[in-house]
Structure 1
Amino acid sequence: MEYTGTARRPAAERKRDTLKRLTTERDIWVSTAHPDHGPHQVPLWFLWHGQAVWMCTGADSATARNVRAEPRVRLGLPDTSDVVLIQGAVDCFPDDEVPAEAADAYTEKFGWDPRTEEGAFLYIRVAPKTVRAWHGEPELRGRVVMRDGAWLTSQPSTE
């Protein structure tokens, strides 16, 4: 999505635009950290399903190891002029324990079912606690569109 305007969007419009991107885009940057190994960042395919972001990665990947040790993550959509940053807590599901509805939706979106692969995979569910969305400097104030897991209906005067 490319943004070229300078007008500040109201909170309801930012929420709508954010949800549209979460339902239509395919890649998201996942930032994790491990107490012993430090930060790690990787792009993964994602699915917005059930008011959460779902991803899947190898069960032995650095991302999987990190979220098991430290379940707080930050996610970012890849457009730097139309920023969406998500902070949340992780729930992990081995591929043989993932809720079928979420795994089926993931398979439908990507045409790939990790549950049928030879290696072990981990499904990662991130329930957003905070979402920030902005287009450039005019929208820096009021960029928080979700706080404590609830979408904001109006923009606060700070942040």
Structure 2
Amino acid sequence: MTGTQRRGRRIMMTPAELDAFLAGQRVCRVATAGPGGRPHASALWYAWDGRALWLYSLTRSRRWADLRRDPRVAVLVDDGHAYGELRGAELSGSVVPVGEAPRSGEACPELEEAERLFAGKYFGMAAMPHDGRHAWLRLVPRTVASWDFRKLAGG
């Protein structure tokens, strides 16, 4: 990851905290730019491999169409209810499709780790089930901003 967080250094997550947070959460929110720049946000399951966020998207979705036209994306992963519990991360950059679209399970060494992580996290399985409707997008974040309000005094 490149880019530095300028504000909120006191509450930003360390690299290890960020890694554990992204690996442990289940849902992210993906913001794309549609035709004419119209924003679109949607919730999505993902996998984090310590370097890239792997988005598993329906290929017949507005999100997929937006990202094929303009690969720039902002992704938010957050958690917490009370103010002093809030934590999260915003990752931004450009996505790259990986593997066939839609994914049918054709051998793709580049997807082995992402699919292993995803299958275990969401399905409790060792191997990824393929439905022929989804495909993978890889985001190696250009910038990351994180926060953990639990680090505030009294949080």
- Superposed CA deviations along residues 44-76 of structure 1, whole A, max 9, x for unmatched, are 111102510012121110111111011010011
State the match for 2:32 in structure 1.
Answer: 32
State the match for 1:107 in structure 2.
Answer: 119
Task: Give me the whole-angstrom Cα distance separating, in 2, the residues matched to 1:14 and 1:63.
Answer: 30
Give % identity: 27
Task: Give me the whole-angstrom Cα distance separating, in 2, the residues matched to 1:100 and 1:18.
Answer: 22
Task: Give me the whole-angstrom Cα distance separating, in 1, the residues matched to 2:118 and 2:137.
Answer: 12
State the match for 2:71 in structure 1.
Answer: 71
- Measured after TM superposition, the shift of residue 120 of structure 1 is 2.4
Report the structure, 1 or 2, having the larger strand content: 1
Task: Give me the whole-angstrom Cα distance separating, in 2, the residues matched to 1:78 and 1:50.
Answer: 17
- Corresponding residue to 1:90 among 79, 95, 113: 95
State the match for 1:51 in structure 2.
Answer: 51
- Structure 1 stretches of at least 4 aligned residues deviating more than 3 Å after TM superposition: 96-100
| Greater RCO (Cα-Cα under 8 Å, separation 6 or more) | 2
Contact kept? 2:19, 2:50, Cα under 8 Å: no
CA RMSD, aligned part only?
A: 2.6
3-state SS, counterpart of residue 60 of structure 1 = coil
* TM-score for the superposition, normalised by structure 2: 0.70
User: What 5-or-longer segments of structure 2 have no aligned partner?
Assistant: 1-8, 81-85
